[in-house]
C-alpha cells in the first residue's frame, strides 16, 4: 500500500517577534532546567508512573526539543536506552505468531525471553512504541535501521474483528474505537472503549487517525469539500466551543479548562485547518497562568 | 508511599518475612544509561523485586495474590501486575464478590486509574448479570462525589449494555440534571439511554417528549451548551426535521427576545439558516433589535447580520464567525 502523501493542511502561523517569549512571562530557561532535572532523575513520587517510563522520557525529550535544547541530552545514550525496550521475536517464525513486536513502556513489563512463559504475549505496547519511535527521531537516530516491516506486520495482530485496535495484547483496556458513520455522528462518538461521550482527547485521536489513514484530506473547510466520514461543520463548531472565557481549552462542555487540551484541541484544529479561528492571545494568557512560580528544589548533588 | 498515612502498622520488609524466605528477589535491570530514572523508595523496589520473582516462576499461590495487592498499592497503574493477579485469581478460583470489595478499597484513592476499571469490568463480566445492581451502585457512589467522572460513566454504560439494569436509568439522569443542569455527562447519559435502552422506543419515538424537556432546560439557562447540543442530537440523521421543526426556531426567537445569554440561540439560528430555514419576519425583527446601533447598515441578509452580531457578542470566536460570514452564499 503506497504511503499517503501528507501535505501540511494549512500554513503554520508566522513565528512571533523574537522578544515575544523573552518577556517576563514565559520563562524558557526555567522550563529547560526543569526538564533537564527530570531527565536526570524523577522524584520518588513518580514511582507509580514506572509503567509509563518511556512516555515520561518522551515528554522530557520532546519538551527539550521544542525549547531548542535537545543538545542538553546525551543523544546516543538515549537511543541505546530506548532500543533496549524493543521486543524481539526469538526466531524467524515468531513474527507470525499473533504477537505485536513493538516497544515496552518500562522494565516492569519486560522480562527476559525465556521467562515469558507466563504470558502468551510479550508486553510491548502500541503507545510506548509511538513514544520510542518519536524519541529516536528527535535524537537523530536512523530509524530506517529498525525492522519496521516486522513491527508493522505484527501490528496487524492488534486489530480486532470490530475494527478497534488494542494497544496491548494483554487486555482490552486501551482499545481506541473509531466508530465511523456514513452520516457523520452527533456528539462525534470518538471514544475510548465502550463509552459514548465526546472529549477533546478522544476527538484528537480519532481525527489524527482518520487523517493519517487518508479518510480526511486537506482543505476540509472549503465549500466544496465534504466528508462522508465526519460531519466537519459540526465538529469544527464543537471543537471551537472548547475555548472558554478564560482563554484556555476545556475537554468537554461545562468543564474547567486544562492546559493539556491546548494540545488535544489545538492539534485537532490544526489538522482540520481551523487553528486560525481560536483566540491565540487569550490562550497564551491562560497557559501562562498555569506556569508554576515555584522551582522544584534541586535533587542532585 | 502515598498511603502511608492509612497504615496502622509499619510495613515489614519482605526480606524479613519468614514466609518469603525461599524466594530470591529479581532486581530491575535499568541498563547502563537509564533516561528519566526514578528515585524509587526502598519498599517499592523490594516489592517489585519479589513480584518479578514470582512472575518469572509463574507462582499462582495465595502469597502471590497478596503480593500483587501490595504491588498494586504502590503502583496501581502497573498492568503487568494486574494481569498476573487475574491469572492467580483464576488459578485459585477466588470468590469474585470478594474481589469487588478489594477493588472498592483501591478505588478510593485511585479512581482515575484505567487499570482498576479494566479489572472491575473483568470481574463483573465473570459474575454476569447478577453483578449489574452492584455495579450500578458502585458507579453511582463515585458519581455522587464526582458527577462527571469519566471512568465511572464509561463503566456504567458498559454495565448497562452488557449486564442490563436500564429500568431506572432515565430517572437517574433526571435526578442528576435536577442537581446540576449543566452536567454534560448527565446529558450525555440521557442521550445514551434514549437511543440505546431496550425498554424505550428509540430516538424517533422519544423525540417529542425529549424536545419538550430540553426546551424547558434551555429556557431556564440559555447559556448552557449541553442542552443545545442535546437538542441537535435529537434530530440525528434527520437534519431536515430539525430545520422544519418550528419548536427549534421558536426556541431561538424566545431566547433572542430576552436579549440575554443568546449566543447559542444565535449560532443555532445561523445553522438553521444555513440549512435552508426560511426566516419569519419576527426572526428578522428580533435580530435587527439586537444589532448595535451606529454600526454598519443592517444587512438585508439575516445570516450575515447574525454572523456580525456573533463576532461582537462571542469575541473569542470572532475569527470563526467572520469566516462563517464569508462562507455564506451571496444571494439572500
Which candidate from A53, A186, A278 shows the least CB-CB separation from B236? Answer: A186
pTM confidence score: 0.86
Residues of B in contact with A253 (CB under 8 A): 184, 225-226, 229
Q: CA-to-CA distance for A167 and A135, rounded, in angstroms?
A: 19
More confident residue, A294 or B195: B195
Residues of A in contact with B55 (CB under 8 A): 111, 115, 118
Tens digit of each residue's pLDDT, chain A (301 residues): 444 444 444 555 555 555 444 444 788 999 999 999 999 999 999 998 888 899 999 999 999 999 999 999 999 999 999 999 998 877 765 656 777 888 888 887 776 655 554 444 567 778 888 899 999 999 999 988 888 888 888 877 777 666 665 554 433 333 333 333 323 322 233 333 344 567 888 888 888 888 887 888 877 887 556 666 788 899 999 999 999 999 999 999 999 999 999 999 999 999 999 999 999 999 999 999 888 876 554 444 3
Nearest CA in chain A to B148: A255
Closest CA to A132 of A65, A74, A168, A84: A84
Q: Are A206 and A190 in contact (CB under 8 A)?
A: yes
- Mark yes or no for CB contact B77/A52 under 8 Å: yes
Which candidate from B56, B117, B188 shows the least CB-CB separation from A111? Answer: B56
More confident residue, A124 or B245: B245
- pLDDT value of residue A197: 63
Residue A243 pairs with which residues in a beta bridge? A249
Residue-wise over A250-285: b if at least 16 C-beta within 10 A, else e? bbbbbbebbeebbebbbbbbbbbbbbebbbeebbbe
The cell numbers describing A237, all together, are 463548531
- pLDDT value of residue A294: 62
H or E stretch covering B82: helix B79-92
Q: Match 494486574 to its residue by C-alpha cell.
A: B82
ipTM of the complex model:
0.91
Nearest CA in chain B to A281: B316
Long-range contacts of residues B168-171, Cβ cutoff 8 Å, at least 24 apart: B169/B193, B169/B197, B170/B194, B170/B197, B170/B200
Q: What count of residues does chain B have? A: 332
Catalytic residue check, B41: no
In the set B108, B112, B141, B259, the catalytic residue is B112
- Mark yes or no for CB contact B237/A183 under 8 Å: yes
pLDDT tens, position by position, B271-304: 999 999 999 999 999 999 997 654 555 566 999 9
Burial of B33 (C-beta count, 10 Å sphere; 0-12/13-18/19+): middle
For chain A, give me the number of helices (H) and strands (E)?
9, 2
- Collapsing DSSP to helix, strand or coil, A91 comes out as coil
Residues of B in contact with A57 (CB under 8 A): 35-36
- Mark yes or no for CB contact A56/B36 under 8 Å: yes
Burial of A54 (C-beta count, 10 Å sphere; 0-12/13-18/19+): buried
Of the listed ranges B2-11, B98-107, B145-154, the least confidently predicted one is: B2-11
Q: CA-to-CA distance for A74 and A60, rounded, in angstroms?
A: 13
- pLDDT value of residue A179: 34
Amino acid at each position: 500500500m503506497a504511503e499517503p502523501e501528507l501535505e501540511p493542511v494549512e500554513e503554520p502561523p508566522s513565528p512571533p517577534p523574537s522578544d515575544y517569549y523573552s518577556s517576563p512571562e514565559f520563562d524558557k530557561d526555567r522550563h529547560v532546567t526543569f526538564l533537564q532535572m527530570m531527565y536526570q532523575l524523577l522524584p520518588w513520587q513518580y514511582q507509580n508512573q514506572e509503567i509509563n517510563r518511556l512516555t515520561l522520557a518522551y515528554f522530557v525529550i520532546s519538551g527539550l526539543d521544542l525549547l531548542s535544547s535537545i543538545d542538553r541530552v546525551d543523544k546516543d545514550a538515549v537511543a541505546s536506552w530506548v532500543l533496549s525496550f524493543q521486543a524481539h521475536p526469538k526466531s524467524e517464525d515468531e513474527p507470525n505468531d499473533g504477537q505485536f513486536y513493538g516497544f515496552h513502556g518500562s522494565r516492569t513489563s519486560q522480562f527476559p525471553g525465556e521467562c515469558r512463559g507466563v504470558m502468551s504475549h510479550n508486553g510491548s505496547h502500541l503507545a510506548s512504541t509511538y513514544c520510542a519511535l518519536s524519541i529516536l527521531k528527535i535524537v537523530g537516530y536512523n530509524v530506517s535501521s529498525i525492522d519496521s516491516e516486522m513491527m508493522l506486520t505484527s501490528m496487524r495482530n492488534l486489530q480486532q474483528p470490530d475494527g478497534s485496535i488494542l494497544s496491548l495484547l494483554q487486555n482490552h483496556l486501551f482499545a481506541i474505537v473509531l466508530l465511523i458513520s456514513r452520516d457523520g455522528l452527533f456528539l462525534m462518538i470518538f471514544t475510548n472503549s465502550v463509552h459514548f461521550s465526546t472529549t477533546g482527547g478522544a476527538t484528537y485521536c480519532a481525527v489524527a487517525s482518520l487523517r493519517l489513514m487518508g479518510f480526511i484530506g486537506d482543505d476540509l473547510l472549503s465549500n466544496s469539500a465534504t466528508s462522508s466520514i465526519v460531519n466537519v461543520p459540526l465538529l469544527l463548531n464543537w471543537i471551537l466551543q472548547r475555548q472558554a472565557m478564560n482563554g484556555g481549552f476545556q475537554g468537554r462542555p461545562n468543564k474547567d479548562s486544562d492546559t493539556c487540551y491546548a494540545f488535544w484541541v489545538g492539534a485537532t484544529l490544526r489538522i482540520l485547518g481551523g487553528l486560525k479561528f481560536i483566540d491565540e492571545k487569550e490562550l497564551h494568557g491562560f497557559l501562562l497562568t498555569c506556569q508554576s512560580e515555584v522551582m522544584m528544589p534541586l535533587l542532585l548533588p | 508511599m502515598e498511603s502511608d498515612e492509612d497504615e496502622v502498622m509499619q510495613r515489614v520488609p519482605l526480606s524479613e518475612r519468614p514466609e518469603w524466605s525461599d524466594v530470591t528477589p529479581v532486581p530491575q535491570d535499568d541498563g547502563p544509561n537509564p533516561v528519566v530514572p526514578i528515585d524509587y523508595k526502598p519498599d517499592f523496589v523490594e516489592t517489585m523485586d519479589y513480584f518479578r520473582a514470582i512472575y518469572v516462576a509463574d507462582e499462582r499461590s495465595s502469597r502471590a495474590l497478596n503480593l500483587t495487592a501490595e504491588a498494586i498499592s504502590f503502583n496501581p497503574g502497573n498492568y503487568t501486575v494486574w494481569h498476573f493477579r487475574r491469572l492467580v485469581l483464576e488459578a485459585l478460583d477466588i470468590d469474585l464478590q470478594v474481589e469487588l470489595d478489594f477493588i472498592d478499597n483501591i478505588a478510593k484513592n485511585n479512581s482515575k486509574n484505567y487499570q482498576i476499571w479494566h479489572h472491575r469490568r473483568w470481574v463483573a463480566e465473570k459474575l454476569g448479570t447478577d453483578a449489574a445492581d452492584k455495579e450500578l451502585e458502585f458507579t453511582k457512589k463515585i458519581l455522587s462525589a464526582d458527577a462527571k467522572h469519566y471512568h465511572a460513566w464509561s463503566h456504567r454504560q458498559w454495565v448497562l449494555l452488557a449486564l442490563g439494569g436500564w429500568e431506572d436509568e432515565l430517572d437517574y439522569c433526571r435526578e442528576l440534571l435536577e442537581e446540576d443542569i449543566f452536567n454534560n455527562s448527565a446529558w450525555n447519559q440521557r442521550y445514551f439511554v434514549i437511543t440505546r435502552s431496550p425498554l424505550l422506543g428509540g430516538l424517533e419515538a422519544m423525540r417529542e417528549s425529549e424536545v419538550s424537556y430540553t426546551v424547558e432546560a434551555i429556557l431556564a439557562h440559555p447559556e448552557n451548551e449541553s442542552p443545545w447540543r442535546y437538542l441537535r442530537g435529537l434530530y440525528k440523521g434527520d437534519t431536515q426535521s430539525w430545520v422544519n421543526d418550528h419548536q427549534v426556531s421558536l426556541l431561538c426567537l424566545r431566547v433572542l427576545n430576552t436579549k440575554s445569554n443568546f449566543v447559542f440561540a444565535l449560532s443555532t439560528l445561523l445553522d438553521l439558516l444555513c440549512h435552508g430555514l426560511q426566516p419569519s419576519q419576527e426572526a428578522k425583527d428580533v435580530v435587527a433589535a439586537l444589532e448595535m446601533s451606529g454600526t454598519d447598515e443592517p444587512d438585508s441578509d439575516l445570516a450575515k447580520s447574525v454572523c456580525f452580531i456573533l463576532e461582537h457578542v462571542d469575541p473569542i470566536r470572532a475569527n470563526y464567525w467572520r469566516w462563517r460570514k464569508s462562507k455564506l452564499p451571496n444571494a439572500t
